[in-house]
RNA sequence: GGGCAGAUGGCAGAGCGGUCAAAUGCACCUGGCUGUAAACCAGGCGCCCUUGUGGCUACGGGGGUUCGAAUCCCUCUCUGCCCA
């Protein structure tokens, strides 16, 4: 049984229906993988995720390395056992953390004044930085990232990549692409080397396509990654602050040149509208913090009453104070089955954590249901109709 | 009946002669969040407009002192505590 099987290709777009076969079960694609950075999809249990039919989750190499440490997780029997999730796990390499920490964005973690809490240096060897947890110095290399992911025992590992922000001039992207290519080769070599002693002998490795928002560099990256040869490919360097159109352009350039029989992951994307479009452009799997983070911030995704698509609401608004309707009566989540807008608002305004939990459950279900609808639409050849006009609406 | 303390924006609560349309918190409004340093962040929050080193009305009511009062004085009303 091969790792990736394509079950059906949609006739009017690049969308395809497939299955990822991993040591911990299969993933029906197109799929959304909830983000569980620190070995937890914030606020929900593994059992709940299973119940909602989330098939794969994403965890983070960087965070788990620093705390509690990959060797500790190895001793616990691997990440699956450690967090009691027996389904497939995709681990991000830590490349994105280098990008976001180096930015020193002061909006994070209540840091309002002063210098970035991190001192990040990217060299060809790897990334050295000071950790925010305790100020200790660390160095992450492509080999180290693979070693950590091997200790975690994830089903799909990602190579460490260099993520340029937006906007970045072409010369820098070009240089960065050279670093990423070199790291790809080293990651591949290291993965082959330690595979036989890995906690998960069937762990797959994905290459990451970079190249900023320049067509020739993206195509160059696709070619370089294919040449090295990976089990699958992720498109990275998007959702870094660029306009949506630029992100979609990258997909138009790269996908036709990518190996057709390998799975394609789109890193960090996105809104429901973006995911639907990306599927049409040939992407298979997605991960994004939007459903979980925005839920904690009081934003809920709701199916649109008029037309196709969805709308978002902020549950804290006073207008929901006496609204005794379910947030979305077309939704089958726990929140919508049992509670009213008024109750959820009350929980948020009171700072009660159940509010955050219910909102998270709802948004995850919204995303998972969306993927289910996409898969069904591809299956029944109605996907192009679904894509057309699927967007965020006012009501 | 007597003594003391107090009355500030929707609420709580700073300010104690000018730099005060008034700190701060809550509430409220708006915006943001895309491989999670995020149960977070940013802005607004008396009224008016030509949106400005702009105008007007404001710190329980009334009356004073002063070039100038939320800030000092008198008085009224109300509130809290204490003594009869």
CATH number (domain holding residue A84): 3.20.20.105
Residues 6+ apart with CB under 8 A from A87: A24, A25, A49, A50, A54, A55, A56, A57
Q: Is residue A271 located within the same domain as residue A151?
A: yes
Q: What is the pLDDT of residue A132?
A: 63
Bridge partners of A285, per DSSP, are A31, A265
Residues 6+ apart with CB under 8 A from A327: A300, A302, A313, A315, A335, A336, A339, A341, A344, A362
Q: Is residue A310 located within the same domain as residue A278?
A: no
A378 to A73, A373, A386: CA distances (angstroms) = 39, 9, 9
Instruction: Point out the domain boundary residue: A288, A304, A329.
Output: A288
How far is it between the farthest Cα atoms of chain A?
Answer: 62
Structural domain total, chain A: 2
Nearest by Cα to A382 from A373, A391, A393: A373
* Nucleotide minimizing C1' to CA distance for residue A92: B35
Instruction: Point out the domain boundary residue: A262, A288, A314.
Output: A288
Residue A332 CB neighbour total at 10 angstroms: 10
Residue A244, CB, less than 7 Å from strand B? Answer: yes
Residue A310 lies in a domain: yes
Residue A394 lies in a domain: no
Q: What is the pLDDT of residue A373?
A: 97
Measure the CA–CA gap between A300 and A293, rounded to whole angstroms. 10
Q: Is residue A10 located within the same domain as residue A58?
A: yes
Strands, sheet with A31-33, edge to edge from the N-terminal-most edge strand: A31-33, A285-287, A264-266, A232-235, A204-209, A156-158, A89-92, A57-60
Bridge-based pairing of strands A156-158 and A89-92 is parallel
A287 an active-site residue?
yes
Residue A319 lies in a domain: yes
Q: How many residues does chain A have?
A: 395
pTM value? 0.94
Residue A395 lies in a domain: no
Residue A356 lies in a domain: yes
Distance from CA(A112) to C1'(B59), angstroms, rounded: 33
Q: Is residue A40 located within the same domain as residue A182?
A: yes
Q: Is residue A308 located within the same domain as residue A284?
A: no
Q: What is the pLDDT of residue A133?
A: 63
Q: Is residue A67 located within the same domain as residue A184?
A: yes
Asked whether residue A336 is marked as a ligand-binding residue, the answer is yes
Q: Is residue A190 located within the same domain as residue A335?
A: no
Q: Is residue A269 located within the same domain as residue A353?
A: no
Q: What is the pLDDT of residue A105?
A: 55
Residue A300, CB, less than 7 Å from strand B? Answer: no
Q: What is the pLDDT of residue A86?
A: 98
Asked whether residue A333 is marked as a ligand-binding residue, the answer is yes
Q: Is residue A99 located within the same domain as residue A228?
A: yes
Instruction: Point out the domain boundary residue: A235, A254, A288.
Output: A288
Q: Is residue A278 located within the same domain as residue A252?
A: yes
Long-range contacts of A304-307 (CB under 8 A, 24+ apart): A304/A393, A304/A395, A305/A395, A306/A393, A306/A395, A307/A389, A307/A393
For residue A366, what are the domain limits?
295-387
Residue A224 lies in a domain: yes
Structure tokens at A22: 């991993």
Residue A170 lies in a domain: yes
Distance from CA(A126) to C1'(B64), angstroms, rounded: 78
For the CA atoms of chain A, what is the radius of gyration?
A: 21
Q: Is residue A218 located within the same domain as residue A338?
A: no
Q: Is residue A369 located within the same domain as residue A222?
A: no
Spell out, as residue ranges, where chain A has pLDDT lower than 70: 103-117, 132-133
Residue A115 lies in a domain: yes
């Amino acid at each position: 049984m091969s790792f990736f099987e394509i079950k059906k290709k949609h006739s009017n777009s690049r969308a395809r229906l497939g299955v990822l076969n991993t040591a911990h079960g299969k993933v029906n694609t197109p799929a959304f993988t909830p983000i569980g950075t620190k070995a937890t999809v914030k606020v929900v249990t593994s059992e709940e995720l299973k119940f909602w039919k989330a098939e794969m989750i994403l965890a983070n190499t960087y965070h788990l390395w620093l705390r509690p440490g990959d060797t500790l997780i190895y001793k616990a029997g691997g990440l699956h056992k450690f967090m009691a999730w027996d389904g497939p796990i995709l681990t991000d390499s830590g490349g994105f953390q280098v990008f976001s920490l180096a930015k020193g964005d002061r909006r994070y973690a209540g840091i309002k004044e002063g210098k970035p809490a991190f001192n990040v240096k990217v060299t060809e060897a790897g990334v050295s930085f000071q950790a925010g947890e305790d100020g200790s110095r660390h160095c992450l290399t492509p080999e180290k990232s693979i070693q950590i992911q091997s200790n975690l025992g994830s089903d799909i590992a990602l190579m460490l990549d260099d993520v340029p922000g937006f906007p970045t001039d072409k010369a820098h992207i070009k240089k960065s692409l050279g670093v990423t290519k070199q790291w790809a080769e080293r990651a591949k070599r290291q993965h082959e080397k330690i595979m036989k002693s890995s906690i998960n002998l069937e762990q797959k490795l994905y290459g990451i396509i970079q190249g900023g928002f320049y067509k020739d560099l993206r195509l160059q990256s696709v070619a370089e990654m294919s040449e090295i040869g990976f089990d699958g490919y992720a498109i990275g360097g998007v959702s870094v602050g660029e306009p949506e159109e630029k992100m979609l352009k990258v997909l138009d350039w790269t996908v036709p040149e990518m190996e057709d029989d390998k799975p394609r992951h789109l890193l960090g994307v996105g809104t429901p509208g973006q995911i639907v479009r990306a599927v049409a452009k040939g992407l298979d799997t997605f991960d994004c913090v939007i459903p979980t983070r925005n839920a904690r911030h009081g934003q809920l995704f709701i199916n649109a009453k008029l037309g196709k698509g969805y709308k978002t609401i902020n549950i804290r608004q006073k207008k929901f104070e006496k609204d005794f309707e379910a947030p979305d009566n077309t939704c089958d989540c726990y929140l919508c089955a049992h509670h009213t807008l008024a109750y959820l608002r009350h929980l948020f305004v009171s700072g009660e954590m159940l509010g955050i939990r219910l909102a998270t459950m709802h948004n995850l279900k919204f995303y998972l249901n969306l993927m289910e609808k996409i898969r069904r639409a591809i299956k029944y050849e109605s996907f192009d109709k679904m894509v057309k006009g699927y967007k965020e609406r006012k009501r």
